[in-house]
């Protein structure tokens, strides 16, 4: 069941993040500039949270209870088990 919640949340985050990136690339954000330097800076500030969100989702996926029981995870090799 936790896998289902994870994938639903991941899909929602992905749709929202794609919309944000598309809006930034199209210059449809409030205060968008036509300057190349400003657009590059804006693109960086759009991609950075997307990358951090991807890392957070990966970390969350690895810490789900079903993943803790797999033998190749650090928790299983350390002798830790989900309760």
Query: What pLDDT score was predicted for residue 37?
Result: 84
| Residue 5 reports pLDDT greater than 80 | yes
Average the pLDDT over 64-76 and give the result: 63
pTM over the 0.75 mark: no
C-alpha–C-alpha distance, residues 14 and 53, integer Å:
9
Least confident of 20-29, 42-51, 57-66: 20-29
| Residue 39 reports pLDDT greater than 90 | no
**CA distances (Å), 72 to each of 23, 40, 47, 68, in order?**
40, 40, 31, 9
Query: What pLDDT score was predicted for residue 36?
Result: 78
Using the structure block, give the residue that is written with the tokens 């804006």.
42
6 within 8 A of 60, measured Cβ to Cβ: yes
| Residue 83 reports pLDDT greater than 70 | no
| Residue 77 reports pLDDT greater than 70 | no
Report H helices in the chain.
2-26, 36-62, 65-68, 74-77
């Amino acid at each position: 069941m936790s896998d289902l919640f994870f994938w639903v949340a991941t899909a929602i985050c992905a749709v929202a993040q794609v919309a944000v990136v598309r809006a930034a690339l199209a210059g449809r954000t409030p205060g968008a500039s036509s300057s190349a330097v400003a657009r590059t800076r804006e693109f960086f500030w759009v991609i950075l949270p997307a990358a951090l969100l991807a890392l957070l989702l990966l970390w969350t996926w690895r810490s789900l209870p079903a993943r803790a029981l797999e033998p190749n995870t650090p928790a299983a090799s350390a002798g830790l088990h989900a309760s």
